[in-house]
């Protein structure tokens, strides 16, 4: 197993129902997770199949954490993602859509739809990232093997 301890990961977050609810509210613990990721010298990207979401991230004061925004492919995930500049390809995607996570590697999350202050999924994501940093993998059922490494 390859350790990712010293690798700066490009971590791509889906937007709708991954970090934002249906009403545009921010999922609990997103800011804490973003802070952790930045402190570990990884890079955060936000993408969406629904356009470039700069305004939504501004609204929640998250812009400073984010390296770049992209439009997420809605089909042919591997080929379309391979067209991104090499330095900007996702090492890990976080998404409520299992298919894209299985293809690109990363962490599948429960869909966040209605606001719920007790939602702890982002804390789980943080735990899995900690595991992946030390061992290159995770036994959590949400985790799918990383591909762009």
Which residues would be at the binding site for Mg ion (CB under 5 A)? 14, 16-18, 96
Name which of 54 and 134 has its Cβ closer to Mg ion: 54
CB atoms within 10 A of CB 98: 12
In angstroms, give the least distance from the CB of 133 to Mg ion.
25
Name which of 16 and 121 has its Cβ closer to Mg ion: 16
In angstroms, give the least distance from the CB of 41 to Mg ion.
26
In angstroms, give the least distance from the CB of 94 to Mg ion.
10
- CA-CA distance, 12 to 91, in Å (whole number)? 8
Name which of 13 and 143 has its Cβ closer to Mg ion: 13
In angstroms, give the least distance from the CB of 93 to Mg ion.
11
Judge whether 90 and 73 are in contact, CB under 8 Å: no
Among residues 98, 83, 17, which one has the least CA distance to residue 50? 17
Q: What is residue 64's DSSP assignment?
A: G
Joined tokens for residue 30 = 């997103």
CB atoms within 10 A of CB 46: 26
In angstroms, give the least distance from the CB of 17 to Mg ion.
4
Joined tokens for residue 19 = 């970090």
Strands (E), 30-99: 43-48, 66-71, 92-95
Name which of 112 and 143 has its Cβ closer to Mg ion: 112
Name which of 4 and 18 has its Cβ closer to Mg ion: 18
């Amino acid at each position: 197993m390859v350790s990712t301890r010293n690798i700066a990961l490009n971590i791509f977050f889906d937007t709708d129902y991954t970090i934002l609810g249906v009403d545009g509210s921010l999922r609990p613990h997103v800011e804490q997770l973003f802070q952790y990721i930045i402190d570990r010298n990884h890079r955060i990207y936000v993408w969406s199949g629904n356009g470039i979401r700069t305004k939504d991230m501004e609204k929640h004061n998250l812009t400073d954490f984010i390296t770049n925004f992209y439009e997420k492919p809605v089909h042919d995930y591997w080929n379309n993602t391979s067209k991104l500049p090499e330095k900007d390809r996702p090492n890990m995607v976080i998404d409520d859509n299992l298919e894209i996570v299985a293809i690109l590697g990363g962490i599948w999350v429960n869909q966040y739809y209605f606001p719920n202050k007790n939602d702890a999924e982002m804390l789980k994501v943080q735990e899995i990232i900690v595991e992946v940093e030390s061992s290159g993998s995770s036994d959590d059922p949400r985790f799918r093997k990383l591909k762009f490494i």
